[in-house]
Amino acid sequence: MKVAIDISQIAYTGSGVATYTENLVRSLLQMDRNNQYLLFGISLRQIDVLTDFTSELKKKYSNVESKIVRLPQTLGNLVWNRYHVLDLGRFIGSADIFHSSDWIQPPIKGVKKVTTIHDLVVYKYPQISHPDIVATQKRRLYWVKKECDAIIADSVSTKRDILETLKVEPDKVTVVYPGIDSQFIPQDEEEFIRVRQKYNLPERYILFVGTREPRKNLQRLILAFDRFLRHPLVSSQNKEINLVLVGKTGWGQKLKNVRFVYPLGMVEKKDLPAIYSGAVFFVFPSLYEGFGLPILEAMACGCPVITSNMGSLAEIASDCAIQIDPYDEEDISVKMVQLVIDQNLRKKIIKRGFSQSERFKWEDAASKLLKIYESLIS
């Protein structure tokens, strides 16, 4: 069996889809030495990210080849999503399976087509999505519904959204939970001190990790944080506490300059475990997610979590995190106070978080996906 996988989204380093794609490809290659893999990608400015990734894997595994094309993704969107012309086989040759990525759905004849749908935010919450993203994703999903033989959903919540919105046959959609990178484990004090000095982190901080865009709900988080600071049980403490925001800037309303809020921006991947480990707690009040990997990364590092009580976040967090109404600043604030003041609650959430994070492994995801590939050509 020859499997072609679109890895174009890896070019967007630091995004959730890039992390998903990279880890899934690595896990498939580590597990499966019998089948052949072709890694296809397009990019213009970030083409080196793709070529470096594929070069590393080709040195390590004998059953992988690559086809990286210097082409802007905007042009790929135009040709493959809007006009849906130019058969991909002209670039990659023959294959048994083609697994498309999050952005582009090219036509390809004589091949079983698989795709991953991470979320349906462009249908569920178009008002908190960039108009260009909405247009691109809707065009892609039109072809996904029409042509794909199998659809992978990151969560039960996402599968439900797919069935309700796209109206595809239920047996086409399979939930395959992503895993957690093995680097996410509690870090020792020495490593935390190194990272804190590197980024000039405050001594005590609450943490958020994610792209800064409207659906991440950061404006409400900051207003809730301001309420939290003014709460008597917090303001009476002698130690200052800050809110640290890690992640690239996306689009939408700019954050106001608020005291004790540190927009740290992007950090090196190797430093994230220590940043999680050193936080008082992690808060992720997103309005909509297809999965919510950062909450599991925090749990795996021994950091207690507060997250939304909606959709996939409630599904993934279960009773292993403090759940909040993301539209209610007071509720967010009250739960933040509880997690700072109540040490027994904090210990319980940390313990449950460790157990929950152990359920999500990339080798399990790769194994399940491989069975889906095989079932399509059997």
Residues 338 and 322: beta-carbon distance below 8 Å: yes
Which residue matches tokens 């490593």?
Answer: 191
Residues 326 and 201 in one domain: yes
Q: Is residue 12 part of a domain?
A: yes
Q: Which of 202, 216, 198 is nearest to 260 (CA)?
A: 202
Residues 277 and 202 in one domain: yes
Residues 193 and 213 in one domain: yes
Residues 124 and 255 in one domain: no
What is the DSSP code (8-state) at residue 249? B
- Rounded distance, CA 82 to CA 202, Å? 48
Q: Is residue 13 part of a domain?
A: yes
pLDDT at 3: 98
E strands, the chain, in order: 2-6, 36-43, 64-70, 97-100, 112-117, 150-153, 173-175, 205-209, 242-246, 261-265, 281-284, 305-308, 322-324
Residues 149 and 241 in one domain: no
Residues 50 and 197 in one domain: no
Which residue matches tokens 């909405």?
Answer: 134
Q: Is residue 195 part of a domain?
A: yes
Q: Is residue 289 part of a domain?
A: yes
| Displacement of CA 339 from its chain's centroid (Å) | 25
Residues 100 and 208 in one domain: no
What is the DSSP code (8-state) at residue 78? I
- Rounded distance, CA 280 to CA 340, Å? 7
Residues 156 and 42 in one domain: yes
Residues 231 and 103 in one domain: no
Q: Is residue 184 part of a domain?
A: no
Domain that holds residue 231: 189-357
Residues 236 and 304 in one domain: yes
Q: Is residue 226 part of a domain?
A: yes
What's the one-letter identity of residue 122? Answer: V
Q: Is residue 297 part of a domain?
A: yes
Question: Looking only at Cα atoms, what is the longest distance across the chain?
Answer: 68
Number of domains forming the structure of the chain: 2
pLDDT at 212: 86
- Rounded distance, CA 321 to CA 351, Å? 10
pLDDT in tens, the chain (378 residues): 999 999 999 998 888 899 999 999 999 999 999 999 999 999 999 999 999 999 999 999 999 999 999 999 999 999 999 999 999 999 999 999 999 988 899 999 999 999 999 999 999 989 888 899 899 999 999 999 999 999 999 999 999 999 999 999 999 999 999 999 999 999 999 999 999 999 999 999 999 999 888 899 999 999 999 999 999 988 888 689 999 999 887 665 566 656 688 889 899 999 999 999 999 999 999 999 999 999 999 999 999 999 999 999 999 999 999 999 999 999 999 999 999 999 999 999 999 999 999 999 999 999 999 999 999 998
Residues 271 and 287 in one domain: yes
For 318, left (φ over 0), alpha (ψ -120 to 50), or beta? left
Indicate the pTM of the whole model. Answer: 0.93
- The CATH number for 115's domain is 3.40.50.2000
Residues 96 and 135 in one domain: yes
Residues 270 and 247: beta-carbon distance below 8 Å: no
Q: Is residue 312 part of a domain?
A: yes
- Rounded distance, CA 4 to CA 17, Å? 17
DSSP-H helix ranges across 148-217: 156-166, 189-199
